Amino acid sequence: MNKIVLASGNPGKLREFEHLLAPLGIEVVTQGQLGISEAEEPHHTFVENALAKARHVSRESGLPTLADDSGICVHALHGMPGVVSARYSGFPKSDERNNRALLEAMKNINDRRAHYYCVLVLMRSAGDPQPIIAEGEWHGEIGRTPSGEGGFGYDPLFWLPEFGKTAAELSHDEKHAISHRGKAMKVLLGKLNKA
């Protein structure tokens, strides 16, 4: 496998996956580069949405496809924004508006515990009966004000007490070593090596 289609149009995710897969010599292209539309994400779970995205893009491209469904889950909000993290504040999607909406939802809440969750699905073909599925979690808290210029999504609000900074203040290498996506990718690559 020397080429994988990423079932996403998110430039932040593309950068992360290019960085994670570069050592393996795997070229990553996005579904947008191939003119493939986004799949519907009607499901209530990350894994169902990731499977739907991977199957759609693999069917349209005829290539192995890597899909990611991830989001931030806030303990005091019963897991929200969860699967709607990217569109929490509506359409068009906006990280800045999503962050403002989350801060508004959390304004009178002292329990700031949260975690990022990621499910990766690798389908070797659209009909792959045994897709490789991996998951990862990254625990932290919701900060009270955004901080940092790096990352994307809720990274400026995702406070990491052990580092004394937000995810948006980490270097790329620091983030990939401990993030939900980095952890899920390590699991996926381990499974891929055994397949």
**Total number of domains in the chain:** 1
pLDDT at site 192: 82
Quote the pTM value: 0.92
Q: Write down the pLDDT at residue 9.
A: 80
C-alpha to C-alpha distance for 143 and 171, rounded to whole angstroms: 19
Which residues participate in catalysis according to the annotation?
69
Q: With a cut of 90, say whether residue 130 has pLDDT above it.
A: yes
Q: Which residue has the higher pLDDT, 14 or 125?
A: 125
CATH code of 168's domain: 3.90.950.10
pLDDT at 46: 97
* Inter-residue contact 56 to 131 (CB < 8 Å): no
Q: Across the chain, what does the average pLDDT equal?
A: 94
Range(s) of the domain holding residue 173: 3-194
The 10s digit of each residue's pLDDT in 82-115 is: 999 999 999 999 999 999 999 999 999 999 999 9
The set of residues, in sequence order, having a beta carbon less than 8 Å from that of 141 and lying 6+ positions away, is 112, 113, 114, 158, 159, 160, 161
Q: Which residue from 62, 11, 42, 187 is spatially nearest to 195, judged by alpha carbons?
A: 187
Query: Mean pLDDT over residues 120-149, rounded?
Result: 96
